[in-house]
Amino acid sequence: MLSHLFSFTRFTSTHGWQWMCPAWIAILIGCSGYPERFEAPEIDSESAAERAILEYDSNGDAALSKDELAKCPGILSMLKVYDGNNNGSVEQEEIVSRLSDLLKHGAGGTGLNASVFYDGRPLGGATVVLEPESYLGEEVQPAQGLTDGGGSTDLGIPPEFVPEHLRRIKSVHYGTFKVRITHPTISIPAKYNTATTLGYETQPGDPYVRFMLTSK
């Protein structure tokens, strides 16, 4: 539980990272006695896992191989976590187990800071989009951010999906995502956007992610 709470204990301000007071932590996890709860998206782990197999299992063996997971880079990036029996593929029951664990706290969202590097240098002015996997359902929202001169951005879902009293704190829904990164003046390879191989899955207690892009 503590690692989950820590994913909410810091926010970005003009003075850098600051610790939140206990009241803010309580609001984010929806404790009683505070304004409107930040409700978590409704995701049925069993149904989501079944849809994932239907969507990505191209050979009909009821499991997702590494080749099949190339189209679901979020799971592929966490293969060691999903693959409980260490057979190199992901079965429906393993997806159920992982999603149940990921969503067990019922939190509405978590902070996430993304850093983007291009050919080894921070990439400013890049748009980073987290696109939720469709098998999660319609309630998990996409998140995005625009990197600053240091290549960093705090990602956030659209404000209308966040309680009004929390909108000054950017957050993303828990889930599994494709990542698409574009730039207005740099032609970033398709493997990072239209044909993306980038994936991400939220990790309680770790509000940072880094994307290392190359021009080749």
- Looking at the fold, whether 115 and 51 belong to one and the same domain comes out as no
In a domain, 76, yes or no: no
- Looking at the fold, whether 173 and 205 belong to one and the same domain comes out as yes
- Looking at the fold, whether 156 and 206 belong to one and the same domain comes out as yes
Domain boundaries, position 15 = 2-41+104-213
In a domain, 77, yes or no: no
Give residue 33's pLDDT.
53
Count how many domains the chain has.
Answer: 2
Give residue 36's pLDDT.
74
Structure tokens at 155: 């990602």
Task: Give the pTM.
Answer: 0.83
Given a cut of 50, the residues of the chain with pLDDT beneath it are 1-32
- Looking at the fold, whether 201 and 164 belong to one and the same domain comes out as yes
Give residue 34's pLDDT.
55
For 146-181, how does the pLDDT look when each residue is reduced to its tens digit (9 = 90+)? 999 999 999 999 999 998 988 898 999 999 999 999
In a domain, 80, yes or no: no
Q: What is the DSSP string of 48-106?
A: HHHHHHHHH-TTSSSEE-HHHHTT-HHHHTTHHHH-TT-SSSEEHHHHHHHHHHHTTT-
